[in-house]
Structure 1
Amino acid sequence: MTSPSRTVELRELVLPALANHHGTLFAGHGLQLLAKAAFLAARQQAQGEVVMARVSGLDFLAPVPVGHQLRLRAWVSRVGRSSMTVCVSAQADAPGQAPAPALQGFFEMVAVDGCGRPLALDRFDIPQETSA
């Protein structure tokens, strides 16, 4: 996955509270972090509130041990009438080691109004970005 220049980036330290009994990032916490990054990228793109409609792909590429830092990058790759596709990738970093791909996911997010109904994105001047 490659990311365009307009991305949201988050960093998270994997502490024991985020780990499973093997001492690596628990999958549920990994999904939560990916979803948070997707939400922030979609909300920035929509210039308003969004909700998650679907996770269309999720890959756990490598275990992430306690003490490693996750660097999550999220970007909008497709904009529809009220929905958008957000790609998220995460790399694990540890002191003295090269960053390694760890997680990736694809999220379908929908712009919503105050009542939670889909809201057309064409009311904004949103640049259409495509994935490579």
Structure 2
Amino acid sequence: MSNDHTRPARVAEEVHITDLVLPNQTNNYGTMFGGEVLAMMDKAAGIAAIRFCRQPVVTASTERIDFRTPIHTGEIIEATAKVIYVGRTSLIVRIHIYAEHPLIGERRICTTGYFSMVAVDAEGRPVPVPRLLLPDEQARAEWEVGEEIRRVIDARRQR
């Protein structure tokens, strides 16, 4: 975590977005377009980041997105997003996408990804974000994942 203790510290809350997969969101196999899934993930990441820092944010990058299982027409889809790591002006948000059979209730994880978001001012310049409080072991474990993602981003930008 940052040494800047003048910034407020907050616990990150998990954001949930739910929708129904319609035919216009699917391909000729009846499964949801990856781009539609990414758009939902980006929106959920943005909401999680804004709720955490209460400032405008922009997406800086998408990281480690794994499409595990297809999502079918008519299924209920849910995105859960949570800020897991913060730097001075950036935030790493973890997003899980679940699909649920609407009549049976069977639910499965379909996609997991991480988005790097940056808080910005009215001119689009990066601004400091609050420090992230880590209240439990799960939050500390996710912080370590976020830290590794941050290292990957930094190494890529060095090239």
What TM-score do you get using the length of structure 1 for normalisation?
0.89
Gaps of 5+ in 2: 1-10, 144-159
Count of aligned pairs between the two proteins: 126
Root-mean-square deviation (Å): 1.6
Partner residue of 2:50 out of 43, 63, 73: 43
Structure 1 runs (4+) greater than 6 angstroms displaced: none
More helix by share: 2
Q: Matched residues in 2 for 1:128 and 1:27: separation?
A: 33
Q: Which amino acid aligns with 2:31?
A: T
For the pair 1:92 / 2:99, whether they are aligned, the reply is yes
Q: Matched residues in 1 for 2:92 and 2:23: separation?
A: 32
In percent, how many aligned pairs have the same letter? 33
Q: Which amino acid aligns with 2:119?
A: A
**If you compute each CA radius of gyration, which structure gives the higher value, 1 or 2?**
2
Per-residue deviation, 1:20: 0.9
Q: Matched residues in 2 for 1:35 and 1:93: separation?
A: 20
* Mapping for residues 11-90 of structure 1, pairs under 5 Å: 11-90=18-97
Q: Which amino acid aligns with 2:85?
A: R
For the pair 1:103 / 2:111, whether they are aligned, the reply is yes
Per-residue deviation, 1:119: 0.5
Residue pair 2:12, 2:84 contacting (<8 A) in 1 also: no
Summarize the Cα distance change of 1:28–1:6 in structure 2 as closer, same or farther, 3 Å threshold: same
Where does residue 127 of structure 1 map in the other structure? 132
Per-residue deviation, 1:14: 0.4
Gaps of 5+ in 1: none
